[in-house]
Amino acid sequence: MGGSTLVQGARYTSATAIGLAEGWSVERLTPPSRLYGANGLRTGPDGRIYVAQVAGNRISALDVDSGELETISTQASAILTPDDVDFDADGNLYATEYYEGRVSVRGADGGTRVLRDDVPGANGITFHQGRLFIDECRIGGRLLELDPNGGAPRVILENLAMPNAMEFGPDGKLYYPVLGTNDIWRVDPDGGEPERVAGDLGVPDAVKFDAEGFIVSTQVGTGEVLRINPRNGDRTVLATLTPGLDNLTFVGGRLFVSGFTGQITEILGGGATRTVLPGGMTWPLDLTVGADGTLYISDGTYFYARVDGELRMLGMLFSPGWPGYIRGATSVGDGEFVVTTSNGQIARWRPAASEHDILAGGTEPLDQLYGVAVAPDGTVVAAEQGTGRVLGVRNGDLTTLASGLDQPTGVVFTGDGTCLVSEAGAGRVVAVTGSGTDIVADDLDRPHGLVVRGGRLLVLDAGARSLIEVTLDGKARTTIAHDLPVGPADGGNPVPLKGLAPFSGPQGLFAGLAAGPDGTLYVSADAEGSVLAIRQER
């Protein structure tokens, strides 16, 4: 299809169709995403659900009956990495900014101001009788009361093991889930010892209360939605979805939950559910193809295989043996991968066995790893964007193969074993040599993913939104596709998100590229959250 790229309700739209060179076609293998994941949920004064999206720097408002979405705060707005939201009595929106360690206020007039910038891991937020409370989802996190006028915060509790989205109960106590201890607690905000309400759960990450005064809690590890009696801890499973649930809210007695994929689900009676907003991918990032032609997709907190036209999750943030937020990936055997993580590790991962081995960066994390490839001699080579280096790992030894590069991103090997690296900052692709680097292709915008096929280099230029084929001597090039939905959805050159341990290090865009054994080219359409297949007609 080479038609219009406009998709109703998608997070990214373009009035310009994908353009293709003669003899090429394009197919969307996955539908575009409408959100950048879905984190905090809160029902607004207008009855719509306000959805915070950490990775996308966005807040959207969802009409649960029509499915209509309105972007309230964009990637270019003053609110960064919003994780949870609430409203005061005047309709002003307060947002925790997780990676920024801030709380900001968006007034009813649209103006924004920072309330606090000294609350690392700011996450859960709630108002109670005009008083504002937040917590910090980090190791050693605090539970705080904030002064909406900007005064010093009051510490209620500290040294908590990653508290998350919280709410006041009918008894006037503040109920908060703790990820690190897998339980739910309550405390009187004006004094007294905290009390454990329920434990041995499915990793609770949010609590709210229904009309009968029962806790309703999402479980990020198991995908369960639980109803818990706050008086004795008895629990009932309202529904079981997929792992990665994040938050919940009520709209007139109706219950809705969010998930990392961006799916919003209404929980009905008897375990039944209704998808209000379908899930999708947050990015995607790198792509790799196995020897049998299976396409594998890295989406940060998820890793998928595409099997029989459907995505099958191989692992996610809370899976046993998870190596960390995966950015770069290459298939190295039957169900085995070498990956780079935003946490700063290069690892060999076996998802079926729920295990991984750290090859580099274990004790001293590396700085913003991106693409990864394996040389013919078995050396694992990765781009370290934060330092401008290309690194090699072999038999436990880490060496610098090249340095002084401008945002190295993609890595690939030619048939003769030459390592090629894309420099997103310099707009070129270079070959790594024993004495430095040689330019293979320049005058690019922001090259990311690379593939070598049939003696030619394919470059996914995220800045130019184009897929380009270049001869390895650099003397000829052809644009195979242009106006692709890749790169920043709102344009510009966004700074990588800061991230926060232990979940993720800095997060940045990486438009991956891979080739199948049949010649199909797979493109990470990260602007719209889909994967494209580009094929040469025969």
CB 467 within 8 A of CB 484: yes
pLDDT tens digits, the chain, 538 residues: what are they?
Answer: 333 333 446 788 888 999 999 999 999 999 999 999 999 999 999 999 999 999 888 999 999 999 899 988 876 678 999 999 999 999 999 999 999 999 999 998 888 999 999 999 999 999 999 999 999 999 999 999 999 988 999 999 999 999 999 999 999 999 999 999 999 999 999 998 999 999 999 999 999 999 999 999 999 999 999 999 999 999 999 999 999 999 999 999 999 999 999 999 999 989 899 999 999 999 999 999 999 999 999 999 999 999 999 999 999 998 999 999 999 999 999 899 999 999 999 999 999 999 999 999 999 999 999 999 999 999 999 999 999 999 999 999 999 999 999 999 999 999 999 999 999 999 999 999 988 899 999 999 999 999 999 889 999 999 999 999 999 987 899 999 999 999 988 776 666 788 887 888 899 999 999 999 999 999 999 999 999 999 998 7
Cα separation, 319 vs 55, in Å, equals 20
pLDDT at position 75 is 65
> What are the structural domains of the chain?
19-31+281-536 (2.120.10.30), 41-277 (2.130.10.10)
Cα separation, 513 vs 279, in Å, equals 23
pLDDT at position 9 is 61
pLDDT at position 365 is 95
CB 30 within 8 A of CB 281: yes
Q: Give the chain's largest Cα–Cα span.
A: 75
Residues 6+ apart with CB under 8 A from 267: 225, 238, 239, 255, 256, 257, 273
CA distances from 54 to 81, 83, 121, 212 (A): 4, 5, 12, 31
| Burial class (CB within 10 angstroms; exposed 0-12, middle 13-18, buried 19+) of 363 | exposed
CA distances from 5 to 13, 19, 31, 39, 531 (A): 6, 10, 12, 27, 13
Tokens 């920043």 locate to 488
Cα separation, 352 vs 336, in Å, equals 9
pLDDT at position 428 is 97
| Tokens representing residue 165 in the block | 């989205």
What is this structure's pTM?
Answer: 0.92
Where would I find the beta strands (DSSP E) of 74-111? 82-87, 93-97, 102-106
Please give the distance of CA 63 from its chain centroid, rounded to a whole number. 24
CB 443 within 8 A of CB 458: no
